[in-house]
Amino acid sequence: MPYVTVKMLEGRTEEQKRELVSRVTEVVSETTGAPKEAIHVFIDEMSKNHIGIGGVRKSDQ
């Protein structure tokens, strides 16, 4: 039973997240042979003030 975690900055619409879960599930099923019903997709959204790149928070850019 595959588990997939997608980490991304917050701000996507519900429709975008729905599509992401659908497509990730499809690809994992195709590549691993796992049934779609056994694939778990977790979306971990991060606030822009909780991530820094090159010493600068995304919220400060």
* Per-residue pLDDT at 36: 98
Two tokens, residue 3 = 């588990």
The encoded tokens of residue 40 equal: 């778990």
> 7-42, pLDDT tens digit by residue?
999 999 999 999 999 999 999 999 999 999 999 999
The helix (run of H) or strand (run of E) holding residue 58 is none
With cut-offs at 50, 70 and 90, classify the pLDDT of residue 1: very high
Position 31 scores a pLDDT of 98
Q: According to the model, what pLDDT value does residue 15 have?
A: 98
DSSP label of 54: T
Beta bridge partners of 56: 53
Give the residue numbers marked as catalytic: 2
Task: Give this prediction's pTM.
Answer: 0.86
Report the CATH fold assignment for 3-60.
Answer: Macrophage Migration Inhibitory Factor (3.30.429)
